[in-house]
Amino acid sequence: MDNLIIKTLAENEQIPYELLLSADPSLEAINMYLPNSTIYLAHIHNEVIAEYVLYPLSDDDIEIKNIAVLESYQGQGIGKLLLKDATRRAIDSGYKSLLIGTSNASIGQLYLYQQQGFELSGIKMNFFIDNYTEPIYENGIQCRHMIMLTKVL
């Protein structure tokens, strides 16, 4: 992916809501964290093909609230590159830990995050039951709990 450029959302750029919604189906939740977040967009030949969102939790901790790659570009290592990019930016900004959360049913994401150095650090029990109006299923399993993972930087 030599031609992949990752940079913050420019002032004149649209928020790629479709991508954000592919990672988090709640527009309400997205609109809650975006005002205090930084959005990073990955471009190939000026097309936005992926994004991630960094949300500071404290002076020491920062969370990847949302990460998504356009379906036609998935499975080519871009998710891995985004996690490495987020890690580098968090270190450069002086954070001590990088967090990410995903559902109990998101098997592929749990694999990817652990492969990239994140360790299980907590469970927000019934998070998806309490905060989402519609039931969400992945891999035939209901998303009930939020599994939190942390990478020490």
Where do contacts with ligand ACO occur on this chain (CB under 6 A)?
22-24, 64, 66-69, 74-80, 100-102, 108-109, 111-112
| Start-end of H helices in the chain | 17-23, 27-33, 78-92, 107-115, 127-131
Q: Please, what is the minimum distance in Å from the beta carbon of residue 115 to ligand ACO?
A: 6
Q: Are 29 and 66 in contact (CB under 8 A)?
A: no
Closest residue to bound ligand ACO by CB: 108
For residue 51, which of 72, 62, 65 has the smallest C-alpha distance? 65
The least CB distance from residue 57 to ligand ACO, in Å, is: 14
Q: Please, which residue, 42 or 153, has the CB nearer to ligand ACO?
A: 42
Specify burial of residue 134 (Cβ count, 10 A radius: 0-12, 13-18, 19+): exposed
Burial pattern 65-77, b for ≥16 Cβ within 10 A else e, equals bbbbbbeebeeee
The length of the chain, given as a count of residues:
153
15/112 with CB nearer ligand ACO = 112
Query: Least distance from C-beta 152 to ligand ACO, angstroms?
Result: 18
Which of 11, 78 has the CB closer to ligand ACO? 78
Minimum CB distance to ligand ACO smaller for 51 or for 153: 51
Closest distance to ligand ACO from the beta carbon of 46 (Å): 19
